[in-house]
Amino acid sequence: MFKNMPLVNGLTEYISKNQLAFHMPGHKGGRLMPELSSFSFAQMDMTEVSGLDNLQSPEGIIREAQQLAAKAFQSDACFFLINGSTSGIHAMMMATFQAGDQVLIPRNCHKSVWGGLILSGAEPVFIQPEYDEERCLVTHVSPGCVRQAIRENPNAKGMVITNPDYYGLCPQLSEIQSILAINGMKLLVDEAHGPHLIFHPDLPPSAAQCRADLWVQSAHKTLPALTQAAYLHIGNQVSPTDSRLIEKVTQYHRLLQSTSPSYLIMASLDYARAYMEEHGKVSLDMLLEHLTWTRSELNTLGIDTMQGYSRSEIYQIDATRLVLDISKLGLTGFQGEEILRQAGVQVEMSDSHRLVLVCTVADRREDFQCLVDACKHLSTHMGNREIKGRKLTISREIPRQMLSPKEAFAGNVEWVLLDQAAGRICGGAPVGPYPPGIPSYYPGELITKSGLEGLLENQAQGAQLFGLSEDDKISVIID
Ligand SMILES: Cc1ncc(COP(=O)(O)O)c(C=O)c1O
């Protein structure tokens, strides 16, 4: 073994710890992938030799695999992505929106949507999502806010929305689709966390079932597929009227994928689809049963599993996503994550109040038993103070946009102290308080005195400010 391989050594060392994985990728160590692991990964790592087709213009086995995926996920056409949903979000936004087009965007979108704005040159019409002050949790935009944004911006071309989010919360997608369709606008869905939804009737409806025009799904997050494996879909209703859109999607998909795509990743996309078609319903039944048991055990430990959580802007919650609010135990999510790590469990994510665990069809009953045992440590480490919702508020006001995301991204920046930033244009990266994690300023937006006061007030109440330099400076465009 060579000595100087920090990445290889770090990975092997981590794997040898044998942490129980409640995080992505959804295959959980390749448990459900016997067909793929009967050959070594290196053997399966092929290139476009005769008979193995070509992702850039598929005519053989890749085309067939994509067609099967379109059928399974109920789309008109499916494109395999070997650089995650990120590349699919970029492709669908570039295919749908031209420079200067207005696009409705919830302000808590994933950063890949921000990337899509930069690449396409489109202009965001930001909509503020709802915020649960008690739980310190940002949820979704309401249909009412979408209607209002359309009234104020009747020329907008469409909307990009997340379904479900990291916490498994799904917006009122069907209603939002109807509102957009009546106004001749396209619905693009970031369904990175939802490729499993379509395989079980008790789970929230998928973008396909809500008649989205385009959507992406990270197979690697919740299906037995390798990291970076994702699907980009075109909706059934798009094809008869909009053949140009299909051409555009094909063109941008080609542009944004490597000319040497990983056959391992593509094969895992084919495999995940086949697995879910054959076993998805039964495996999800079992997973939901394990989760019902787990939630009931955790409730007896005093852990809030957010069961029955509901708000008007939320249509349904994806029950496969396990979210544990441990604030009433006097612990922050960050502390909880560390306690569970010490007890041999690695979660996907934590925030000020919660732990988020990714559960998939690869999880077994004994894994949930181990999880419950590990969670007993949370109760015994109980902090001495209840973590209250700090009642952080979010301003509903959207700052004035002076430059498009593309212009702001290309602009030269300098770093200034916060108290010198009023009147300047935000550059570089989005800036905001965490929690709740919504940017107060996106690059290109005008920084105001009252906006800065709001930021500092949140900071005084204990929020961390993201997007600043280590010495707390903010990046602004050089005039
Ligand atoms: C909501 C959301 N959208 C998009 C992405 C990007 O997906 P990928 O990692 O497959 O590129 C993520 C990744 O975490 C995400 O959470």
* Structural domain boundaries in the chain: 34-271, 405-477
Q: What are phi and psi of 431, to 5 degrees?
A: -125, 140
Q: How far is CA 185 from CA 114, 147, 226, 238, 318, in A?
A: 19, 12, 34, 12, 27
Q: How far is CA 472 from CA 111, 415, 419, 446, 449, in A?
A: 22, 9, 11, 19, 17
Q: Do the first three CATH levels of 34-271 and 405-477 match, i.e. the same topology?
A: no
Pick the atom of ligand 1 nearest to 83's CA.
Answer: 11
pTM of the model: 0.95
- What amino acid occupies position 126? F
List the structure tokens of 18. 């044998």
Whole-angstrom distance, CA of residue 4 vs CA of residue 18: 23
Q: How many CB atoms lie within 10 A of CB 77?
A: 18
The pLDDT value given to residue 76: 93
Write down the residue that tokens 């092997």 correspond to: 12
> What's the 253 CA to ligand 1 centre distance in angstroms?
17
Write down the residue that tokens 């104020």 correspond to: 152
Evaluate: CB of 110 within 6 angstroms of ligand 1.
Answer: yes
| Chain centre to alpha carbon of residue 288 | 21
Considering the domain 405-477, what is its CATH architecture? Alpha-Beta Complex (3.90)
β-strands 102-106, 158-162 pairing: parallel
Q: Ligand 1, atom 4: nearest CA belongs to which residue?
A: 192
Which of 218, 220, 268 most suits a substitution to test ligand 1, by most atoms within 8 Å of the C-beta? 218
Evaluate: CB of 114 within 6 angstroms of ligand 1.
Answer: no
Q: Ligand 1, atom 1: nearest CA belongs to which residue?
A: 110
Q: How many CB atoms lie within 10 A of CB 189?
A: 29
Q: Which fold has domain 34-271?
A: Aspartate Aminotransferase; domain 2 (3.40.640)
> What's the 189 CA to ligand 1 centre distance in angstroms?
12
- Local confidence pLDDT in tens for the 479 residues of the chain: 788 999 999 999 999 999 999 999 999 998 888 766 677 788 889 999 999 999 999 999 999 999 999 999 999 999 999 999 999 999 999 999 999 999 999 999 999 999 999 999 999 999 999 999 889 899 999 999 999 999 999 999 999 999 999 999 999 999 999 999 999 999 999 999 999 999 999 999 999 999 999 999 999 999 999 999 999 999 987 655 577 899 999 999 999 999 999 999 999 999 999 999 999 999 999 999 999 999 999 999 999 999 999 999 999 999 999 999 999 999 999 999 999 999 999 999 998 899 999 999 999 999 999 999 999 999 887 665 555 545 566 677 899 999 999 999 999 999 999 999 999 999 988 999 887 788 999 999 999 999 999 888 888 877 889 999 999 899 999 97
CB neighbour list of residue 39: distance below 8 Å, 6 or more residues apart: none
Which of 105, 161, 190 most suits a substitution to test ligand 1, by most atoms within 8 Å of the C-beta? 190
Q: Ligand 1, atom 13: nearest CA belongs to which residue?
A: 192
The pLDDT value given to residue 239: 57
> What's the 188 CA to ligand 1 centre distance in angstroms?
14
The pLDDT value given to residue 389: 47
Evaluate: CB of 320 within 6 angstroms of ligand 1.
Answer: no
The pLDDT value given to residue 390: 53
Evaluate: CB of 86 within 6 angstroms of ligand 1.
Answer: yes
**Cα torsion through 348, 119, 77, 266, rounded to 10:** -50
List the structure tokens of 255. 């542009």
> What's the 199 CA to ligand 1 centre distance in angstroms?
20
Write down the residue that tokens 């965001």 correspond to: 124
Evaluate: CB of 116 within 6 angstroms of ligand 1.
Answer: no
Answer positive or negative: Cα dihedral of 179, 184, 185, 189.
positive
Q: Ligand 1, atom 7: nearest CA belongs to which residue?
A: 85
Q: How many CB atoms lie within 10 A of CB 442?
A: 23
Which of 80, 85, 227 most suits a substitution to test ligand 1, by most atoms within 8 Å of the C-beta? 85
> What's the 219 CA to ligand 1 centre distance in angstroms?
10
β-strands 137-138, 123-127 pairing: unpaired
- What amino acid occupies position 241? T
